Amino acid sequence: MKGPLFYSKILLFGEYGIIKDSKGLSIPYNFYNGALKVSDNQTDEAKASNASLSRFVFYLEKLQQEQPELVQFEIEKLHHDVAEGMYFDSSIPQGYGVGSSGALVAAIYDKYAKDKITVLENLTREKLLKLKTIFGQMESFFHGKSSGLDPLNSYLSIPILINSKDNIEATGIPAQRATGHGAVFLLDSGIVGETAPMVNIFMENLKDKGFRAMLKNQFVKYTDLCVENFLGGDMKSLFANTKKLSKVVLNNFKPMIPEQFHGIWQHGIDTNDYYLKLCGSGGGGYILGFTEDLEKAQNALKDYKLEVVYQF
């Protein structure tokens, strides 16, 4: 048995900001994917995934008892399949900010939810919000607190525009140009990031008045502008605002940036060869890069592993 594929995602803009109602833009990233699978000869990874799924099922059982009107699952079938050795066969790196748990949540909802909202129906704002709420509750098992966006993106496999917490919509993004010099890329930090501790640091920082003011007047402001610039195809403004955003992140989110990357982060701002920003919660995993000249960025970052996500 092998289920349908669910893809990884990239939150281009909005990490941390969406907790405080900034705009956000999330796109599917088809390079990585995962599927539910049952097979007899299991690797250690498959066994670990199966054990994690087993705990997840008990969590989902409790969730549907506590919030029966939110979501119901075919729990007996789920218990049975996990007992048979079902696991999530995934190429999505864990702790890298590209939605490994989101894809798993989407796969479980797709296969076991009763009365599920499907991709084929007319996706009204209410349905999108209901899905996001369900996925947020499901994914909280892995992160402690989840917006539900990663699973939503993985489940629908379309770009999602977050206008605010209660206002999300499917959107189109400018077409890619394979010959374009500009690019969005992933930079591999070589370190696995843990979401929960990073979110805890952020929540702790929110108690500080100065940090809250910086978030509202700088971080959220530039995030919103970047989303508008990107969707509107205004690349000149996009890079100007991404540079400002990159500076704000370096100055105020240092714990989320692995120490050995502080220097190259600053170098990008100084030279304008590229601008870096967080991908997901940070602390490791991938770092997201934006450049107007891919060749320059590749030369400047030749000691690191780059993956091009989007060219324009």
CATH of the domain at 272: 3.30.70.890
List the chain pLDDT tens, one digit each, 312 residues.
578 999 999 999 999 888 788 999 999 998 999 999 998 778 999 999 999 999 999 999 999 999 999 999 999 999 999 999 999 999 999 888 888 899 999 999 999 999 999 988 888 889 999 999 999 999 999 877 788 889 999 999 999 999 988 899 999 998 888 888 999 999 999 998 888 889 889 999 999 999 999 999 999 999 999 999 999 999 999 999 999 999 999 999 999 999 999 999 999 999 999 999 999 889 999 999 999 999 999 999 999 999 999 998
7, containing H or E segment: strand 6-13
Domain termination residue (choose one: 106, 137, 170) = 170
Angstrom distance (rounded) from CA 251 to CA 212:
14
CA angle 24, 266, 262 (to 5 degrees): 85
- Is 62 contained in some domain? yes
Which letter does DSSP use for residue 217 in this model?
A: I
Angstrom distance (rounded) from CA 139 to CA 56:
10
Angstrom distance (rounded) from CA 162 to CA 227:
9
Q: Give the pLDDT confidence score for residue 1 in this predicted structure.
A: 57
Question: Is 265 in the same domain as 295?
Answer: yes
Q: Which domain holds residue 247?
A: 183-311
Domain count, the chain: 2
Q: Give the pLDDT confidence score for residue 178 in this predicted structure.
A: 80
**Sequential DSSP letters for 146-197:** --SHHHHHHHH-S-EEEEETTEEEE---PPP-TT-S-EEEEEE-SS---HHH
251, containing H or E segment: helix 235-252
| Predicted TM-score (pTM) of this structure | 0.89
Question: Is 49 in the same domain as 118?
Answer: yes
Q: Give the pLDDT confidence score for residue 42 in this predicted structure.
A: 83
Q: Give the pLDDT confidence score for residue 59 in this predicted structure.
A: 98
Question: Is 157 in the same domain as 36?
Answer: yes
